[in-house]
Structure 1
Amino acid sequence: MQNIPYLIKFITKSLLPGLLLLAGCERGEEVRAVDFRKTVVVSDPVTDAHERPILRAAVGAMISPKETHGIYLQLLAYVSNKMDMELDFTQRKTYAEVNEMLGQGEIDLAFICSGPYALGSEDHGFELLVAPVVQGAPVYYSYLIVNRDAPHQTLEDLRGTVFAFTDPKSNTGRLVPEYWLALLGERPETFFQDVIYTYSHDNSIQAVAQGLVDGAAVDNLIWDYFARENPVHTARTRIIKRSEPYGIPPIVVGADMPRERVDLIRGLLLDMHMDPEGAAILSELMIDRFVPADPAWYVSIQKLQETVWALGEHDTP
C-alpha cells in the first residue's frame, strides 16, 4: 500500500488485555487470576513537515482484534489522507474510556460498540456517523460459546460454571447474556460459580478454547473473523445459542467536530467501497460497505437494558 503520512499515537494497553478479574467469589474459593498481558511498543513514524489539521480517532480494543489493528489504522489513515489531515490514532482497552474521550472532546471519531452508543450517547453527546454492512446487513449477534469438547448444550447447562464477559458495557459480551439469565429469573452472580472480564472478544474466545472458562458470550463479527482468518481458537469452541440481531457497532463523532467536516468524512466512508484502495481495506475487515446509521437500529438494546433492570428489581428480595 502506498505510503500515507500521518501521526500515530498507538496506545495499546495490551494485546491480550489485562488481568482477568474474578467476580462472585464470596463463597471463599481461591481467586484464580489469569494474566494475558503482552505489551508491544510501536514507534511514531516521521510526519509531514507541513502543518495540517489533526483527525483524532480511536478504536476500542474489544471492537478490533489485535490481528486487525493495522487494518483499522489503514482505514482511518485512508480517511485522514483524503481529508488532507494528520491522523492521531488511539487504542483504548475499555468502552468507558472511549466514551469519556468522546464526551470530553479528546477524540473526534471512534469505532465503538453498539451498547455504549445505545446507552451512552445522551450522556456523552456523540452522534452516529455511519455503520458497516457485513454479510449484507447492518446487524450483528451475540454467540454463546463453550469448549468444543464440553458437554454443555444450553445456557441452563452452564449453571455453577465459570463464565467470561468481555466488558461491563458490552452489548453482546455482557448485556445479552444478562438478559437471557433475567428471563430465567437468574442473575450472573447467583447462576455462575464465578464471572471474569476479559476486555476483548478474542480473549474470551481464547479463554473458552483453552478451558480457562466454561463459557462466554462474544460478538459474532469477531468470532466469524477468526473462523475465516485464523481458526486456531474458534475451531476449539462451539456456538450453542445465538441472539436476535442488533444494530451493528457504528462509527460515531464527537459533538465538537465542525458540521462541514462531519459531512465530508461521512461522504468518504459511504463511497469507500467504490474506490479500489478503500474496497481492499474494507474487504480485509469483512465489511461490504458503510451506510448511513439510523438511531432506531439501537432502540432494542435500550429496551434490553430496561428489561434486565426491571426483572432484576423484581427478583431482589
Structure 2
Amino acid sequence: MAFPHALYRTLLSTGAAGLVLCSSLASADLAERFSDADGDMVADAPSDESQWVDPDTLVFAYTPVEDPAVYAEVWAGFLEHMEEVTGKRVQFFPVQSNSAQLEAMRAGRLHVAGFNTGGVPVAVNCSGFVPFTMMASEDGSFGYEMEIITYPGSGIESVEDLAGRNLAFTSPTSNSGFRAPSALLRSEYGLEADEDFEAAFSGSHDNSILGVVNADYDAAAIANSVGTRMIARGVVDEGDYDIIYTSETFPTTAYGHVYNLHPELVDKVTEAFETFEWEGSALQEEFANSGESQFIPITYQEHWAVIRTIADANGVTYDCD
C-alpha cells in the first residue's frame, strides 16, 4: 500500500503513558483455530484454499454508534467505491454493540469492518480480524485522547471528586471507554469501580456523552474524537460538558478484513481503502471534524502495542475457544 508514513501525535505525560514502557510488546493470544506462522500476531489465511471465502456480497460494519443510520449515509460513497474496485455488492451492517460486531465476524457474517480501539485485540484474537489501515490527518498523524467529562454544575472539578459519584463507561472491550480509564483511576488515583465510585455501561461514546449532558451520569469516560464530531453535527454544543481529564494519544478505529477472505479479494479491499478519494466525500465531511482526511497503513503488532499493554495492566485475557 502506497500510503505516507504514519506519525503518532505527541504523547501527553500521564500515568497511562508509563504503562507503555513496561510491556510494549505484550503478546497476542490467538484462538486455537487460528495460526500465525509469520509471527505478526494476527491470523494467517488458511493454507487450505477451500477454506477461503469469496462472497457475492461483502458485508461491512462500522464500530457501534448511537445512531447507525447516520453512519450508513456517511459510508455510502465509500462502499460504492469498494463495489467498483472489488466487483462485489457491498452491504452496510448497522451493528448495535461491540459484542454483536465481534460475533458477526467470528461467525463468518462480517467480512470487512472498522473496530474500535479497545475492541481490536478481541477481534484479532477471537474473530480472526486482520487490521491494515486507519484514518489519519493530512500530515500522517493519527489518534484520539480519552477524556473524563462531567456536566457543568455537577460539583466534580477533578478526578478525585469522582469518589462517591457515578461514572459511565461504554463497554468492557473499549479502550478509552473502559480499559484506559480503569487503569488510570486505579493506578494514579486509587479509585476502584463499584468500590469508590458507581460504574455504569452506556453502550457507546455517544450515549455516554448524551447521558452526561442530560445529567443521567455524573461523569463519563469518552473518546474525544466522538465528542468533536457530535459538536460539529449539532447533537451537543460546546459548553454542554466540562473536561476534567485528558489522556495520552491512542490509535483510533482500525479497519481490516476477516482472516479467511480470498487473498485476491483482500488485495481489492485494500486497494479500495488506498484509492478512495476523500475530497468532497461524506467521509471527509464527517471525519474532518476530528482531523482525519486519509487512510494510512498500520500493523496490529506495532500500532496496538500500547493498547495491549493497557489490557495487560487490567488483567485482560482472551478465552476465545
Is TM more than 0.5 here? yes
Match of 1:191 in 2: 196
Specify the alignment match of 1:261 in structure 2: 265
**Aligned counterparts of 2:205 and 2:69: Cα–Cα separation in 1:** 11
Residue 98 of structure 1 deviates from its aligned partner by: 1.0
Counterpart contact for 2:152–2:241, Cα < 8 Å = yes
Unaligned regions of 5+ residues in structure 1, if any?
1-51, 311-317
> Is this contact kept in 1: 2:211–2:217, CA < 8 A?
yes
Find the partner of 2:121 among 93, 114, 118.
118
Q: Residues of 2 paired with 1:178 and 1:276: CA distance? A: 39
Alignment of 1:1-317 (within 5 A): 53-62=56-65, 67-134=70-137, 136=139, 137-183=141-187, 184-192=189-197, 194-230=198-234, 232-273=236-277, 276=279, 279-286=281-288, 287-295=292-300, 296-309=302-315
Q: Equivalents in 1 of 2:143, 2:296: separation in Å? A: 12
Q: Is the 8 A contact 2:132 2:298 kept in 1?
A: yes
Instruction: Measure the CA separation in 2 of the matches of 1:272 and 1:160.
Output: 49
In the alignment, residue 287 of structure 2 is paired with which amino acid? L
* Equivalent residue letter for 1:133: A
SS at match of 1:141: strand
**Residue matched to 2:17:** none
- Alpha-carbon shift at residue 231 of structure 1 (Å): 5.2
Q: Does the Cα contact within 8 Å between 1:57 and 1:87 map onto a contact in 2?
A: yes
User: Counterparts of 1:230 and 1:217 in 2: how far apart (Å)?
Assistant: 21
Segments of structure 2 that go 5 or more residues without pairing to the other structure are: 1-54, 317-321
Counting matched residue pairs gives 256
Q: TM-score normalized by structure 2?
A: 0.73
SS across alignment from 2:194: helix
SS state of the match for residue 189, structure 1? coil
Listed one character per residue, the Cα deviations across residues 129-171 of structure 1 (whole Å, up to 9, x for unaligned) are: 3111147422121111110232312211111111111112111
**Counterpart code for 2:113:** A
Superposition RMSD on alpha carbons, in Å?
2.2
Counterpart of 1:299, as a letter, is A
Structure 1 pair 232–64 and aligned structure 2 pair: CA distance change class (3 A): closer
C-alpha contact (below 8 Å) 1:60/1:111 kept by paired residues: yes
Q: Which has the higher contact order (CA 8 A, sep 6+)?
A: 2
Cα separation, 2, equivalents of 1:144 and 1:174: 11
CA contact (8 A) 1:114 1:249 kept: yes
> How far apart in 2 are the matches of 1:134 and 1:64?
25
Letter in structure 2 aligned against 1:132: M
**2: distance between equivalents of 1:135 and 1:160?**
43
Per-residue deviation, residues 20-46 of structure 1 (Å, max 9, x unmatched): xxxxxxxxxxxxxxxxxxxxxxxxxxx
Deviation of residue 267 (structure 1)?
A: 1.8
Q: CA deviation at 1:206?
A: 0.7
Partner of 1:191, secondary structure, is coil
